[in-house]
Amino acid sequence: MNISKVGVLGAGTMGAGIAQVAAQAGHRVVLVDVNADALDQAEKNFQSIFSRLIEKGKMTKEQMIETSNKISYSSSFDSFSNCGIVIEAIVEKIEIKHAVFSQLEKIVSDDCILASNTSSLSIASIGSVLKHSNRVIGIHFFNPAPLMPLVEIIPAVQTSESTLKYSKALIESWGKVTVLAKDTPGFIVNRVARPFYGEALRIYEEGIADFATIDWAMTAIGGFKMGPFTLMDYIGNDVNYAVTESVFSAFYYDPRFKPSFTQKRHSEAGFYGRKSGRGYYDYAQGVELPKPIEDTELGQQIFDRILVMLINEAFDALFLNVATREDIDLAMTKGVNYPKGLLQWADELGLDNVLSKLEDLFSEYGEDRYRPSPFLKRKVRENHLFNSK
Ligand SMILES: NC(=O)c1ccc[n+]([C@@H]2O[C@H](COP(=O)([O-])OP(=O)(O)OC[C@H]3O[C@@H](n4cnc5c(N)ncnc54)[C@H](O)[C@@H]3O)[C@@H](O)[C@H]2O)c1
């Protein structure tokens, strides 16, 4: 790659993580933020992260000095003037992203790639303010960026082949696994994963089980690393709810993505999760977490219901060419640590079993939320082992 200097805009959770990854891959990095405190905080965090890596034997003192020296800090966009790529990771608001992208273009060279780490906004819209919009691309890291191997690469309709090729090669040279996603709401992971939260919340709302029991079903029976309520408490109910709402409206209010009142109320009450001390669970010192009802039959029903909804979403993403079969499975295992790729899982369960569970739900509730993907129906009808399209 001939990109030597990398610009990162936004020194928050994601921007700092991306800057660290780029510096550790050997690039000079300039981290820019309008807020001087955010820059100070990022610099302090790097020192403690690097010290921990040294303690664990994953970094030498020399490497720490070398990597630290590669990162510079600035509050001025002018510092991006000699960058080969700028990755934006600021607040998730389209008007603000529009303003900074048009400002950026006045400073960077004509061939500088302008990337956004947005989780849910349209890359085409972000690029629409650029004169040379073929340089725009989505490069979506997962939190924490230095640890999560997956990066979704999202070309917009304006993106040139060379922007795509360079971006993909660059991110892979940083040791990341890339998947290619269409510029559609939630890309791969944030679309396909919605039922993990939404169906768990629905099961709770129907009074079928409490938070702890649903979490137990998904971990003990399903093999997921974390149950949905524990995970939402980690992500933050404010953040997770905002993503759900944004995906829902971006899909023209498709009931499959309908947000949940339970999560909305938790978020409104300030029950964000771990960061506020209380979410679905109470994290105050000395408070014991509630115990699940370890009823295997109930647990299996809960797990099956959430899993078939996830599989249905994966099928629909494949049906609408959001990504390839391989990339959809890779995205869920490498981006959110699912124990298996959902399409592989579907094959193992038998597509007719998955379809029949969805049809049962659809007929019981009569809600569009449970409608099986036409692609799943077609595959069952054709009755052959599911292979790539
Ligand atoms: N947090 C996550 O889990 C996650 C995961 C993937 C993608 N994302 C996306 O990454 C982006 C950043 O998210 P985050 O969680 O790191 O946010 P954050 O709030 O931690 O950090 C945002 C930073 O941007 C700075 N900023 C805001 N407006 C600015 C401007 N006009 N110019 C320069 N700096 C500005 C803020 O001072 C802040 O330091 C968002 O688009 C988000 O959707 C977040």
Reported as a single tens digit per residue, the pLDDT across 51-84 is 999 999 999 999 999 999 999 999 999 999 999 9
Per-residue pLDDT, averaged over 93-105, amounts to 97
- Determine if ligand 1 sits within 6 Å of the CB of residue 14: yes
Question: Which residues are known to be catalytic?
Answer: 140
- The ligand 1 atom nearest the CA atom of 119: 43
The pLDDT mean for the chain works out to 96
Determine contact, residues 336/329, Cβ cutoff 8 Å.
no
The crossing angle, in degrees rounded to 10, of helices 228-235 and 194-205 is 120
CATH assignment, 191-382: 1.10.1040.50
How far is the centre of ligand 1, averaged over its atoms, from the C-alpha of 209 (Å)? 36
Query: Which pLDDT tens digit goes with each residue over 108-155?
Result: 999 999 999 999 899 999 999 999 999 999 999 999 999 999 999 999
pLDDT band at 200 (very low <50, low <70, confident <90, very high): very high
> What φ, ψ does residue 322 adopt, rounded to 5°?
-70, -35
How far is the centre of ligand 1, averaged over its atoms, from the C-alpha of 324 (Å)? 29
How far is the centre of ligand 1, averaged over its atoms, from the C-alpha of 86 (Å)? 14
Structure tokens of 243?
Answer: 């993503």
- Determine if ligand 1 sits within 6 Å of the CB of residue 118: yes
Question: Cα separation of 352 and 383, whole Å?
Answer: 8
CATH assignment, 5-180: 3.40.50.720
pLDDT of 301 reads 98
Q: Where are the domains of the chain?
A: 5-180, 191-382
> What φ, ψ does residue 121 adopt, rounded to 5°?
-90, 160
- The ligand 1 atom nearest the CA atom of 116: 41
Question: Cα separation of 18 and 31, whole Å?
Answer: 10
Probe residue for ligand 1, chosen from 37, 44, 103, 119 as the CB with the greatest number of ligand atoms within 8 Å: 119
Probe residue for ligand 1, chosen from 34, 86, 90 as the CB with the greatest number of ligand atoms within 8 Å: 90
Question: Cα separation of 232 and 241, whole Å?
Answer: 9
- Determine if ligand 1 sits within 6 Å of the CB of residue 38: yes
Determine contact, residues 117/127, Cβ cutoff 8 Å.
no
The pLDDT of residue 386 is above 90: no
Per-residue pLDDT, averaged over 245-252, amounts to 94
How far is the centre of ligand 1, averaged over its atoms, from the C-alpha of 13 (Å)? 7
